[in-house]
Amino acid sequence: MTTSTTPSRFGGIAGTYMGLAGALVLMLALFGSLSHYFLTVNTFVTIANDIPALTVMAVGMTFVLIIAGIDLSVGSVMALSSGLCSLAILQWHWGLPAALLLGLATGTACGLATGIVSVKWQLPSFIVSLGMLEVARGGAYLVTDSRTQYIGDMIDWLNSSLIGGISPAFIIAFLIIVIGHVTLTRSVFGRYMIGIGTNEEAMRLAGVDPRPIKIAVYALLGLLSSIAGMFQTARLEAADPNTGIGIELQVIAAVVIGGTSLMGGRGSVISTFFGVLIISVLEAGMAQIGASEPTKRIITGLVIIAAVMLDKYRDTRKQRRH
């Protein structure tokens, strides 16, 4: 007999996000008890304004990991699109909208290049994006003359506070999370991404060409990286060619803490957002209690490993039940 019961919506959401939310609350409580200044509005506004760049890249990285790929070039792409944007404003005297568009196009092009090379030539995205990391970083130094290029306040509106101290950048990042989540769960594109990450050959033999979809995912991450670049530019009122060095590790860590599988086929944008929050709260909290840089890095590293172990444990337990 076939029976049909839809699992309760609440049960699903609670099961999926409860662990992450619990970890987050635990961290907040811990840092709150360690520092009187932690649980204040100020801290949260700071965190909220710190995370947009990380968040938008993490959304794109979630998609890349879901199709069983990886992209290490996000930080460099961020710097290059920021640099080109500043070049257009300072040297070519473009208007801000055109310069921003150039920045976004740059990022998209980088992602597209990574995608096309790795998909068409069937090369590991790890290596191709490692190459792109160097190429884009070199490009960033080239277009900025290896110096921080000050643009001035024409772009800082992106990062100025609006209602309750929240910046437009944060609102954009939030919208991207919402769109990203709906895309993953409710669109054909999202369904195809999940399918490709689960079993690419099965997708191909179901009549779906995986290649354009994979390329689009890398291009999308490129675009999102350049949006992160614009946020960063607005924050500094300048294009810094050294911006985003090593940020790919933070981005990947946030996505993995959120439970997205490096093997592909499984992931959630909302969980990724929790991952970003956990990384950011950890960082802000440790800064607040005056932890030294080495301690901070050691603890962040341990948290990442613990998160993946926990995820693996949950996964094996689930499999054993079947």
Partner 1 sequence: MSPTPYLRLAGIGKRYATPVLSDIDLTLNRGEVLALTGENGAGKSTLSKIVAGLIEPSSGEMWLEDAPYRPESRHAAEKLGIRMVMQELSLLPTLSVAENLYLGHLPQRAGFLRTTELNAMAAEHMAAIGLDRIDPRQPVGELGIGHQQMVEIARSLIGNCQLLILDEPTAMLTPHEIDRLFEQIAQLKAKKVSLVYISHRLGEVEAIADRVCVLRDGHHVETRPMAGSSQDDIVRLMVGRDVLASTIRPTLPPAAPLLRVDALSRAPVVQEVSFEVRPGEIFGIAGLVGSGRTELLRLIFGADRADSGAIYLHGEASPTPIPSPQEAVHRGIGMITEDRKSQSLLLDKSIVVNTTLATLNRVTRRGWLKPLRERALTRELADTLDIRCHTLEQAVGELSGGNQQKVVLARWLLRDCDVLLLDEPTRGVDIGARADIYQQMEKMAADGKALVVVSSDLRELMEICDRIGVMSAGRLVKTFPRGEWEQQTLLEAAFSGYSKQAPQQS
Residue numbers at the binding site for partner 1 (CB under 8 A)? 1-7, 186-189, 191-192, 194-195, 198-199, 201-209, 265-266, 322
From the CB of 285, what's the least distance to partner 1, in Å?
35
Output 208 or 289, the one with its CB closest to partner 1.
Answer: 208
From the CB of 70, what's the least distance to partner 1, in Å?
21
Query: Which residue, 41, 246, 236, 36, is CA-closest to 137?
Result: 246
- Cα separation, 286 vs 292, in Å, equals 8
From the CB of 186, what's the least distance to partner 1, in Å?
5
Which H/E stretch holds residue 238? strand 238-239
From the CB of 178, what's the least distance to partner 1, in Å?
14
From the CB of 220, what's the least distance to partner 1, in Å?
14
Output 9 or 36, the one with its CB closest to partner 1.
Answer: 9
Give the length of the chain.
322
CA distance from start to end of the chain: 20
- Token pair belonging to 313: 């444990």
Contact 193, 63 (CB under 8 A): yes
What are the Cα distances from residue 83, in Å, to 58, 69, 104? 21, 27, 11
From the CB of 211, what's the least distance to partner 1, in Å?
10
CA 183 centroid distance within chain: 15
Query: Which residue, 45, 58, 76, 252, is CA-closest to 164?
Result: 45
Output 2 or 292, the one with its CB closest to partner 1.
Answer: 2
Output 199 or 295, the one with its CB closest to partner 1.
Answer: 199
Output 36 or 320, the one with its CB closest to partner 1.
Answer: 320
Which H/E stretch holds residue 151? none
**Residue 82 DSSP one-character state:** H
**Residue 206 DSSP one-character state:** T
307 Cβ neighbours under 8 A, 6+ residues apart: 256, 257, 275, 278
From the CB of 4, what's the least distance to partner 1, in Å?
6
